[in-house]
């Protein structure tokens, strides 16, 4: 029987965005970081290897391999590396003209030599480091040396909340038949540290670390080799990550910034590619119309953001019907609706057409999961990263439709950057694959039905642990107490006679009961916790409430002494304090809504 190969594209990684691009990898190839060009050279620049010219001219001459070192790090701009973030070294473009099998050796200060084609390393200290790559066949070798500079870069965000949690990623495969499948394997995106937005502290999985792969933009993928899956059998692949995620807002910078001359990200991330068709007429003309004469990248990005938010309507029907797939930006702008990938693709295309580097990002929406019963979702999420002068690459979750560069409490865990998910960007043993697909073989004329279930879970964090939730809860509690103030006053007003006399003992007793209730409510207001950034405002609410109660006490004293003018004076102070209390609380609510 003929052996058939099935390449099944993973259910497209589109998120269910409840309310709601990969920043450029710095490629260090030339300039100050490349001290010695790739080729057959030793550290001191002398020819390396064992062959001489006479040998090379002989019939059995061996061509020495060519060592090529490439270095990648997110947001490094190609001129430096950032301390604390992973750096990816690869010799994947090294070659041997004779087709010999190659061996690789990496040497980095502080590390033992490592014999792999690819290497991931995190520099924990600033400084200049010499990296040596030696590529060998059975007879000759060549060496390339580069010097890298590791710097500590000032952050453009203000972290207001840090959260430790565990994110579980699980793929389950079930064979509904007919027959068995063989050679089943799947590819899973691996979260990794990306400061200052996320830190991966630990990772557990049922795959071997040797199965890790890098695709064209150095996203990290895990290959799970699940082997044979018999009819009726189920197998699972999982990665559990202990991570730190942050709530933050952006520091305010002055407008009018410009990109650095020679910034390679300008050419790389402003061109059209795949579904981000920023060179289409409708995208170009729309971008020009939206930004008009504006030249500041930050202001242009905000104008485009507001345009997309106003234009698109979230397409809940596609999620319900599981109609997943990617659309061109030029089509999205005409359809005027979509899910998070559509929002992200369109915004990225408009930014690129306006000269703003932009790319699509995919990952796990922790905040959305926390809002789900069981804290679990079967969908991922998409957002955008844009590069702005003074800020560098920053995440923009446009599907949230919140204020541009507003307070970020979404806790999105990035797993993949760039448009590589749109096409077969991953090469394994000479074949190209989608980076988030599953694949298998079978015998016979009938293809077995393989069903994949995806699950993202969050553990160790609750929605109420978030600062945004705590502040929301605080406002809810404070608002309830203020409503009780109003209820108590209304009750007393109804208890008074229609034409009551201010110094009547029975009427004074009613006012005394109001004073007792207001004092109880003030004590409740003092006990509210989790005010967060409203800590000062909380104290102001307490102060105004106390002023109001003091005025009521003084009014009652005046009533008891039959001092009419005194009674009127403190009644007016009480009434004005009550108005000030509600006005101040309403300003807190408006501030919360503007922030979040």
Per-residue model confidence as pLDDT tens for the chain (596 residues): 333 333 333 333 333 333 332 333 333 333 333 333 333 333 333 334 444 444 444 446 889 999 999 888 887 766 788 888 889 898 989 999 999 999 999 999 888 878 888 888 999 999 999 999 999 998 999 999 999 999 887 778 889 889 999 999 999 999 999 999 999 999 999 999 998 999 999 999 987 655 666 666 678 888 999 999 999 999 999 999 999 999 998 987 666 788 988 888 899 999 999 899 999 999 999 999 999 999 999 999 999 999 999 999 999 888 787 777 899 999 999 999 999 999 999 999 999 999 999 999 999 999 999 999 888 999 899 999 999 998 889 999 999 988 899 889 999 999 999 988 888 888 787 788 888 889 999 998 999 999 999 999 999 999 888 887 878 888 999 999 999 999 999 999 999 988 889 899 999 999 999 999 999 999 999 998 877 778 889 999 999 999 999 999 999 999 999 999 999 999 999 999 999 999 999 999 988 887 76
Kindly calculate the radius of gyration of the chain based on its CA atoms and give it in whole angstroms: 32
Find all residues with CB under 8 Å of 172, minimum gap 6, and list them. 234, 235, 236, 452, 453, 455
Q: What does the pLDDT read at residue 138?
A: 85
Nearest to 404 by CA among 333, 300, 294: 300
CA–CA dist 260, 264 (Å, integer): 9
CA–CA dist 131, 516 (Å, integer): 75
Find all residues with CB under 8 Å of 395, minimum gap 6, and list them. 197, 361, 383, 384, 385, 408, 412, 414
Instruction: Give the neighbor-by-neighbor strand order of the sheet with 376-377.
Output: 198-205, 234-250, 157-175, 450-459, 376-377
Burial class, 8, CB count within 10 angstroms (exposed 0-12 / middle 13-18 / buried 19+):
middle
Q: List phi, psi (to 5°) of 69.
A: -105, 130
Residue 188 near residue 239, CB atoms below 8 Å: yes
Q: List phi, psi (to 5°) of 208.
A: -85, 140
pTM for the model stands at 0.75
Q: Which two tokens stand for residue 227?
A: 């082997």
* 3-class state of residue 232 by DSSP: coil
Decide which of 3.40.220.10, 1.10.3720.10, 3.10.620.30, 3.40.50.300 is the CATH code for 3-22+156-464.
3.10.620.30
Residue 352 near residue 329, CB atoms below 8 Å: no
Cis geometry, peptide bond prior to residue 325 (ω within 30 degrees of 0)? no
Residue with tokens 């938010």: 309
Q: What is the largest CA-CA distance in the chain?
A: 123
CA–CA dist 371, 468 (Å, integer): 13
CA-CA distances (angstroms) from residue 436 to 299, 339, 457?
35, 19, 18
Residue 485 near residue 578, CB atoms below 8 Å: yes
CA–CA dist 56, 52 (Å, integer): 6
DSSP 307-366: HHHHH-EE-HHHHHTT------HHHHHHH-EE-HHHHHHHHHHHHHHTT--EEEEEEEEH
* 3-class state of residue 375 by DSSP: coil
Find all residues with CB under 8 Å of 208, minimum gap 6, and list them. none
DSSP, res 23: P
Nearest to 23 by CA among 332, 391, 409: 391
CA 482 vs. chain centroid, Å, equals 37
Instruction: Give the neighbor-by-neighbor strand order of the sheet with 118-122.
Output: 25-27, 70-74, 86-90, 118-122
DSSP 51-116: --HHHHHSTT--PPPB---EEEEET-TTT-EETTSEEEEE-TT-B-TT----EEEEE-TTS--B--
Q: What does the pLDDT read at residue 60?
A: 66
Question: What residue spans define the domains of the chain?
Answer: 3-22+156-464, 25-151, 466-595
Instruction: Give the neighbor-by-neighbor strand order of the sheet with 81-82.
Output: 81-82, 141-151, 127-136, 103-107
- Backbone angle region of 127, left / alpha / beta, with phi > 0 → left and psi within -120 to 50 → alpha: left
Decide which of 3.40.50.300, 2.60.40.10, 3.30.390.10, 2.40.10.500 is the CATH code for 25-151.
2.60.40.10
Tell me the torsion sign for CA atoms 568, 571, 573, 575.
negative
DSSP 121-136: EE--S-EEEEEEEEEE
DSSP, res 196: T
Residue 49 near residue 64, CB atoms below 8 Å: yes
Q: Which two tokens stand for residue 235?
A: 């197998």
């Amino acid at each position: 029987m003929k052996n058939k190969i099935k390449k099944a594209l993973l259910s497209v990684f589109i998120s269910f965005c409840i309310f709601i691009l990969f920043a450029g990898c710095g490629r260090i190839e030339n300039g100050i970081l490349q001290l010695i060009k790739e080729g057959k050279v030793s550290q001191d620049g002398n020819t390396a290897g064992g062959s001489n010219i006479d040998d090379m001219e002989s019939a059995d001459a061996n061509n020495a391999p060519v060592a090529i070192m490439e270095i990648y790090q997110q947001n490094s701009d190609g001129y430096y590396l950032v301390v604390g973030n992973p750096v990816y070294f690869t010799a994947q473009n090294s070659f041997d003209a004779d087709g010999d099998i190659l061996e690789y050796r990496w040497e980095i200060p502080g590390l033992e030599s490592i014999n792999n084609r690819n290497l991931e390393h995190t520099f924990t200290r600033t400084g200049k480091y010499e990296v040596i790559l030696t590529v060998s066949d059975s007879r000759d070798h060549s060496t390339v040396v580069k010097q890298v500079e590791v710097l500590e870069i000032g952050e453009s965000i203000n972290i207001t909340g840090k959260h430790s949690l565990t994110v579980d990623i699980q793929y389950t495969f079930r064979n509904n038949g007919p027959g068995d499948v063989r050679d089943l394997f799947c590819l899973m995106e691996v979260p990794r540290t990306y400061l200052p937005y996320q830190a991966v502290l630990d990772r557990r999985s049922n795959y071997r670390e040797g199965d890790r792969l890098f695709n064209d933009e150095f996203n990290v993928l895990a290959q799970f080799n699940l082997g044979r899956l018999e009819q009726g059998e189920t197998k699972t692949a999982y990665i559990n990550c202990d991570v730190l995620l942050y709530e933050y807002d952006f520091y305010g910078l002055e407008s009018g910034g410009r990109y650095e001359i020679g910034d390679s990200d300008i050419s790389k991330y402003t061109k059209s590619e795949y579904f981000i068709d920023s060179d289409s007429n409708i995208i170009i003309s729309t971008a020009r119309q939206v930004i008009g004469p504006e030249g500041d990248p930050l202001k242009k990005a905000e104008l485009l953001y507001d345009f997309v938010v106003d234009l698109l309507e979230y397409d809940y029907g596609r999620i319900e019907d599981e109609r997943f797939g990617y659309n061109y930006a030029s089509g999205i702008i005409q359809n005027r609706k979509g899910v998070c990938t559509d929002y992200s693709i369109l915004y990225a295309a408009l930014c690129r057409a306006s000269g703003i580097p932009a790319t699509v990002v995919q990952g796990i929406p922790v905040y959305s999961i926390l809002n789900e019963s069981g804290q679990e979702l079967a969908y991922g999420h998409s957002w955008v990263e844009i590069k702005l002068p003074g800020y560098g690459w920053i995440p923009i979750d446009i599907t949230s439709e919140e204020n541009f560069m507003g307070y970020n409490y979404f806790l999105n865990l990035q797993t993949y950057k760039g448009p590589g998910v749109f096409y077969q960007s991953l090469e394994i043993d000479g074949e190209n694959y989608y980076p988030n697909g599953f694949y298998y073989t079978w015998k016979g004329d009938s293809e077995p039905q393989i069903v994949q279930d995806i699950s993202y879970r969050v553990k160790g964090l609750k929605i109420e642990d978030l600062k945004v939730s705590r502040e929301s809860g605080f406002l809810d509690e404070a608002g309830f107490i203020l409503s009780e103030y109003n209820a108590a006053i209304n009750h007393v007003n109804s208890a008074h006679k229609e034409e009551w006399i201010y110094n009547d003992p029975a009427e004074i007793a009613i006012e005394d009961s109001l004073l007792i209730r207001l004092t109880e409510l003030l004590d409740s207001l003092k006990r509210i916790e989790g005010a967060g950034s409203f800590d000062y405002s909380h104290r102001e609410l307490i102060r105004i409430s106390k002023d109001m109660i003091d005025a009521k006490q003084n009014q009652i004293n005046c009533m008891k002494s039959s001092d009419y003018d005194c009674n009127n004076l403190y009644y007016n102070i009480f009434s004005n304090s009550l108005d000030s209390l509600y006005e101040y609380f309403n300003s807190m609510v408006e501030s919360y809504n503007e922030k979040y």
